[in-house]
Structure 1
Amino acid sequence: MGFFIQDLHRQIEQLHTEAHKTSKMIIYRGQGLSNDDFEKIKKSEGGLLSFNNFLSTSIDQDVSYSFAESVGYNSQLIGILFQIEIDPLISTVSFAFLDNTSQYSDSEKEILFPMHTVFRIGKIKKIKDRLWQVNPTLTSDNDQQLKQLTNHIRKENQKKNGWYRMTGLMITMNKFNKALKIFNLIREKFSAANNDKQFVIYPAIYHDMAVAYQGIGDYPSAL
C-alpha cells in the first residue's frame, strides 16, 4: 500500500512538471466540517492548515459552492467553501491537473495536491447560515512555521498504516463506498487483535466514516 501512495505522489510530480504554471491562480474546494473542527480553523486565522489526505480541488467555483452548500443542510456539519490562492513562484509544492487536456483548456476542472500540503489560513467570512468561506494560500518554501509543521506531520504520519491512508484517498476521490469497506476491514482487524492502538485509531476512523456516510447521503449513519 505504501508503494501505491508513493507512486501516486510521483505521478503528481510528473504531471506538475509537464503542465507547470508560473502565474497565480485561484482554485476551490467544497467540504463539510464538524462544528468543533471549524471552530479550530476560526481560532487559527493567520496560522497554518494541513489536509491529512490527497487534496482534490477544482477551478470551477460553482461546483465547489454547490457541494459546500449541500453539506450545510446536515445539522452536524458546517459547509465550507475554500477559495485557495496559489503562487507557483514562491512555492514548489507539486499539483496535478487531472483532465486529459491542456492546462489552458476551459474544460479542465480538477487539480490534485499531495498528502499533507500546507496552507496559511487567510480571511474567513460568513456567506450565510451554516455556510462559510475560508481563503487559504499555499505557503512559501521559506516559511519557518511550515518547516516545524512538516516535521510534526511526518512523525504523526508514521503512526498510520497504508490502509488507513488509502481510505483518505478514496474519500478525496469521492469513492465513499470503497472507503467504508476499507474502514470496516481496519476496524475488524484491530478488534480481532485486541491491540491497544485501537484506542488511538478508532476516533480517526469514526470521524472519516462519518464523512464517507455523508458523501453517500446516509446522514443517519453519519451521526
Structure 2
Amino acid sequence: IRTVVKHAHELIVQIANDQTDREKIENATPLSVFNRTEKTCVDLKTENSIFMWFELFIEILIRMKHTETSRKELVDICKINYEGNHIQLDIIEEFDRTYTPSKAIEWYTRACCIYKILNKALRIKDLDILFAFRFLITDIFTQLKQEQQRFLRDDPIIIVYRGQAISMMELNRMKSSIDGFIATNTIGGDLQPILFEIEANTRLETKPFANISHLSYFRQEEEVLFILGTIFRINNIVYSQKQNIWIAKLVLCTENDDELKTVFDYMKNEIVEETDLISLGNLLWEIGEFGKSEKYYHRLLNMELPTNDVNIPRCYDGLGSIAKDKGDYENAFIRHKTALDIRLKTLSHNHCDIGNSYNCMGEVYRKKGDYDNALEYYYKALKIWLNTLGNDHRRVSWCYNNIGNVYENKNQYEQALFNYNIDLKICQKILPSGHPDLACTYNSIGNIYSKKGEYDLSFDNYEKALKIQLKSLPSSHQLIAETYENIGALYELTNKLDLALLNYNKAAQIFHSSLPLTHPDVIQIENFLRRVNDKLK
C-alpha cells in the first residue's frame, strides 16, 4: 500500500503524481555505471560483461540489411502498445507514411510513442523490441556519424548539460564510482534530481555524437545527442544546497579505457560485415538466451529460402546446440544430422562447414556417453579444419578441447591433458587474455589436475577460469555455474565442506535460473548438495 486517502480527488492527484514520476523514469536517459575497484569487482565487473554483450547485440543490429518489413514490424508493435489511444495511433500512421532514414533523429526526439517505447526497451534491455527498432537505431547511428564530421571546431572542448531524475540506488552507485565509468543504457526507482555536466572533446575517437538542433523535432532547442553505448568517466558528484539538486561532472572518454576492450574488439571483428538472423541467433545462444535464440533461427527457417541456402544448415546447427545445452540430446542429434545431410549433398566433403557438422555430432555422442563415435566425428572435424583453416584457429582449438573431454571421460588423463595443452597453446596465441574460450580451457585442465590429485594446480586453473568468466560473461551463464561446481567438488575432495557447499549453491542458483529441473546438470548439482549436507550433519 503506497498511501491511504479519504477523498477521491486526493487519489486522483496521487495517481497523477505517480504517472508523472513514471514518465520521468521512462523518458530519462538510460544509464549504466561501471567501477573497476576490487572491492566491488564481482557485481560491477559482471555488469561490464553485460554491457559488452549488449554492445555486440547493437553492433549486429546496425550491420543488418533492413527491408520494408522491418518498418511494418515496428509499426505493428506500436499499434498494439497504444491500442485505443487515438492521438498516438495517428502519430504512428504518420510515422508509417512519412518516415525516411533522413528523419530518424527527428522521430527519435519527438515526444511520442516511438521515443517512449525505444527508451523503455533500452532501459530494460528488451532485445525483441530493440530488434523491431533495428532500422531506426541504424539510421540514427548513420545520421550521427555523418553529423559528427561537421561538429569539429577550433576549440574542441564543449560542455553540455542534461537534467533528469534517477533512482537513489543509481545515485549511490555513481557516488561510489568516482573515476569509474558511466554508459548510456539503464536505470529505475526512488527519484533524485540530478544535473549531468558533460565535457566532450569533439576530436576524440568515440561513438558518434553531434549537435542535432537542425535535425531535431524541436528545431528551436540547442541539443547534442550521444549514441547509446557512449562511455563517460565520472569525475565528481556533489549536492547543491542552493539549487537543491545533485550535480555530476562527466567526461567523454574513448573506448580504450574499457577493460574488456581487447575482448570486445576481437568479438566485434568476428562479426561478419553484413549480419543476419544467424548472427543474432548465435550471439543470443552464446549468452545463454536459448528461447530468444531459437526464435530467430526458426524465423529464418520459416522464410522462403532456396533449398541450397547455406543458412538452412546453420540454423539447424544453432537449434541442435541449444537442444544439447538443454539436455535434449535426441533432438540435438536430429538437428545436427539434418545439417550434416544437407551439407553432404551440397558441399565438397572437405568443406569447413562439414567439419562443423562433424564436431557438433561428436558433441552429442559425447554427451550421450558414446565415446568411440564421439572421437570418430571429432577426428573427422579436426582433419578438415587443419586442412582448411590451419593449426592456429579457434575451431581447431575447440576440437582439441572436445577430444580432451572424451579422453577425460574415459579416465585417460594424460591423453586428455595432452589435447587440452594443445588447445591452450592455440588460445593463448590467437585470443585476448580475457576471452571466455580461455576460461573453458583452464576449466578442462583444472579437471584433470583434480582427478590426478594435484589440487593446488587444479585450483589455480579454476581460479583463472572464474576470473575471466566473471568479467566476460553474464552472471547467469551456465559456464560460470560449471566453474563453481568444479571448485565446489575440489573443496569437497579436500574436506572443506563449508566452502564446497557455498560453491555448489552458487552453481545451483544459476542452473535453476536457466535450465529445466530434468536437465542432467540440475540433477547432478542437487545430488552434490545432498551429499555435502549429509556429510555436514
Taking structure 1 as the reference length, what is the TM-score of the superposition? 0.50
Partner of 2:151: 19
Matched residue, 1:110: 223
Match of 2:141 among 9, 14, 20: 9
1:47 and 2:180 correspond: yes
> Residues of 1 paired with 2:166 and 2:263: CA distance?
21
Any stretches of 5+ residues in structure 1 without a counterpart?
A: 54-74, 102-106, 162-199, 201-223
Q: Deviation of residue 118 (structure 1)?
A: 0.6
User: Hey, what does 2:166 align to over in structure 1?
Assistant: 33
CA shift, 1:100, in A, is 2.2
Question: C-alpha distance in 2, partners of 1:27/1:150?
Answer: 29
Greater share of strand: 1
- 1:71-220 aligned at under 5 Å gives the runs 76-100=190-214, 109-128=222-241, 131-145=245-259, 147=261
Matched residue type, 1:92: T
Cα distance in 1 between the residues matched to 2:169 and 2:160: 25
2: CA distance, partners of 1:32 / 1:150: 31
CA-CA distance at 1:143 after TM superposition? 1.9
Residue identity matched to 1:86: A
Q: Answer yes or no: is the 8 Å Cα contact 1:90–1:141 preserved in 2.
A: no
SS in 2 for 1:145: coil
- Aligned residue for 1:49, secondary structure, equals strand
Identify the residue that residue 304 of structure 2 maps to in structure 1.
Answer: none
Mark the CA change 1:6 to 1:31 in structure 2 (over 3 Å): closer, same or farther.
same
Cα RMSD for the two superposed structures: 3.3
How far apart, CA to CA, are the structure 2 residues paired with 1:26 and 1:149?
32
Aligned counterparts of 2:232 and 2:262: Cα–Cα separation in 1: 13
**C-alpha distance in 2 between matches for 1:3 and 1:21:** 30
- Residues 108 and 148 of structure 1: is their aligned pair in 2 closer, same or farther, counting only changes over 3 Å? farther
**Contact preservation (8 Å) 2:177, 2:234:** yes
Shift of residue 108, structure 1, vs aligned partner:
5.8
CA 1:42–1:25 in 2, change beyond 3 Å: closer, same or farther? Answer: same
Query: Could you give the per-residue CA deviations for residues 34-57 of structure 1, whole angstroms, max 9, x where no partner exists?
Result: 11111111111110101117xxxx
Contact 2:145–2:208 at 8 Å: present in 1 too? yes
Equivalent-residue separation in structure 2 for 1:3 and 1:110 (angstroms): 23
Equivalent position amino acid for 1:8 in 2: I
- Give the Cα–Cα distance (whole angstroms) in 2 for the partners of residues 17 and 83 of structure 1: 23
Q: Work out whether residues 231 and 254 of structure 2, in 8 Å CA contact, stay in contact via their aligned partners in 1.
A: no
- Could you tell me how far 1:149 is from its partner in structure 2? 9.7
CA distance in 1, matches of 2:172, 2:246: 12
CA 1:134–1:43 in 2, change beyond 3 Å: closer, same or farther? same
Cα distance between partner residues in 2 of 1:148 and 1:83: 29
Separation in 2, partners of 1:149, 1:44: 23
- Identical-pair percentage: 30
- Residue 207 of structure 2 aligns to a residue whose secondary structure is coil
Structure 1 moving runs of 4+ over 4 Å? 148-151
Change (3 A) 1:110 1:78: same
Structure with the bigger RCO (C-alpha within 8 Å, sep 6+) is 1
Q: Secondary structure at the match of 1:121?
A: strand
Distance 1:139 1:146 in 2: 15
More helix by share: 2
Q: Please state whether the residue corresponding to 2:256 is helix, strand or coil.
A: coil
TM-score by length of 2: 0.22
Question: Relative to structure 1, is the Cα distance of residues 33 and 5 closer, same or farther in structure 2, using a 3 angstrom cutoff?
Answer: same
Say whether the 8 Å CA contact 1:123–1:135 is kept in structure 2.
yes
Q: Which amino acid aligns with 1:44?
A: S
- Cα distance in 2 for partners of 1:141, 1:5 equals 20
Q: Is the 8 A contact 1:85 1:138 kept in 2?
A: yes
Separation of aligned partners in 1, 2:176 and 2:195: 17
In 1: Cα distance, 2:165 partner to 2:263 partner: 24
CA drift of 1:144 comes to 4.1
Count residues in correspondence.
Answer: 132
Cα distance change on mapping 1:51 and 1:24 into 2, 3 Å: same
Larger gyration radius, structure 1 or structure 2: 2
CA distance in 2, matches of 1:136, 1:26: 10
Once the two structures are TM-superposed, the CA of residue 139 in structure 1 deviates from its matched residue by: 0.8
Q: What residue identity is the alignment partner of 1:93?
A: K
User: Does the 8 Å contact 1:80/1:131 carry over to 2?
Assistant: yes
